[in-house]
């Protein structure tokens, strides 16, 4: 549901449609809501805003009754007229790009600037005035918020895989790490997220030692971690990145036994196939546990703004 606030009375209409609550005008003659197709934008993208009102007489609907529709602006007949005024904070950037463009009736388009303002939130306001002759007899104001996020990101992944000599379940003690696996991400105008290529990192092994009664004599980090592709979308209301991870793999070490038999590396999935992160520089999530048991894995995801 869209966030909406009115400077006039805010009583909700009991018959409001599922698209959102209606706000009543000063005298209660009519009610409107303000819809927007997305509240999260990347630089240069657009958001479509539209009023839906009921109770406003027009040449098409003399009584004004019925389901909320885009209001007719201008002459309504019978000496009545309707005026819709749009405004916004942070209308444009230093280059003059970006801003609000009113439509012919109760709609408008907001074009995001090419440079994200500080703070990245802005407000779009609309005022609806119903007049009889030259006198405004009723009015209503609505406000909705929009948020701008970066278009270019880098997803970084750190993985730690630990094996311990606990009971008879492990052959060797070691700590296998893979740092700064990175994948570059781009957010499209429609808020789809795509990766620009695969990511890899080289593994390092430390603190290696054979477990008691194990024939393993040597361990070597011969593989690494990989992430083939990242796809997903940005939630148009919350701004969360909802990511699908494809081809995510971590390699175990190569183990050499006393008789020179070699256990080849195995590949394991890093974690589940989805990841949610807020679209904020430095946002992170950690999965897994390194404590207890013969083995453990921990994975940290970080989101960085990419210039």
User: Does residue 166 surpass a pLDDT of 70?
Assistant: yes
User: Does residue 38 surpass a pLDDT of 50?
Assistant: yes
pTM: 0.78
Mark 150-162 as b/e (b = at least 16 C-beta within 10 Å): bbebbbbbbbbbb
State pLDDT tens for residues 87-136: 888 655 544 446 888 888 889 999 998 888 888 988 899 999 999 999 99
Helix (H, G, I), strand (E, B) or coil at 70: coil
How big is the chain, counted in residues? 307
User: Does residue 33 surpass a pLDDT of 90?
Assistant: yes
- The tokens for 131 are 């007049």
Output the CA torsion 37→143→237→196 (10° steps).
70
Residues 6+ apart with CB under 8 A from 35: 2, 19, 20, 49, 50, 51, 52
Rounded to whole angstroms, what are the CA distances from 167 to 4, 22, 171, 257, 288? 61, 66, 10, 19, 22
Average pLDDT, the chain: 84
- The tokens for 38 are 């997305």
Q: How far apart are CA 307 and CA 295, in angstroms?
A: 38
């Amino acid at each position: 549901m869209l966030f909406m606030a009115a400077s006039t009375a805010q009583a909700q209409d009991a018959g409001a449609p599922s698209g959102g609550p209606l706000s009543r005008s000063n005298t209660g003659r009519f009610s409107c809501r303000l819809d927007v197709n997305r509240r999260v934008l990347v630089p240069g993208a657009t958001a479509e805003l539209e009023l839906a009102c009921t109770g406003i007489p027009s040449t098409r609907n003399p009584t004004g009754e019925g389901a909320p529709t885009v209001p007719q602006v201008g002459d309504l007949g019978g000496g009545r007229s309707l005026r819709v005024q749009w405004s916004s904070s942070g209308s444009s950037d230093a280059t003059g790009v970006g801003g609000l463009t009113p439509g012919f009736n109760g709609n408008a388009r907001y074009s995001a600037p090419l440079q994200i303002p500080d703070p990245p939130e802005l407000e779009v306001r609309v005022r609806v005035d119903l007049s009889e002759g030259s006198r405004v007899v009723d009015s209503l104001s609505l406000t909705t918020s929009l948020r701008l996020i970066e278009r270019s990101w880098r997803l970084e992944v750190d993985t730690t895989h630990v094996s311990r000599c606990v009971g008879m379940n492990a052959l060797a003690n070691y700590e296998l790490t893979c740092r700064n696996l990175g994948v570059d991400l781009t957010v499209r105008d429609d808020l789809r997220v795509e990766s620009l290529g695969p990511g890899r990192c080289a593994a390092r092994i430390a603190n290696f030692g054979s477990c008691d009664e194990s024939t393993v004599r040597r361990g070597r980090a011969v593989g690494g971690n990989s992430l083939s592709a990242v796809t997903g979308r940005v939630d148009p209301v919350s701004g969360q990145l909802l990511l699908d991870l494809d081809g995510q793999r971590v390699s175990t070490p190569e183990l050499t036994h006393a008789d020179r038999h070699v256990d080849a590396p195995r590949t394991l999935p890093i974690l589940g196939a989805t990841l949610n992160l807020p679209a904020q520089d430095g946002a992170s999530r950690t999965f897994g546990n390194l404590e207890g048991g013969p083995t453990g894995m921990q994975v940290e995801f970080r989101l960085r703004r990419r210039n």
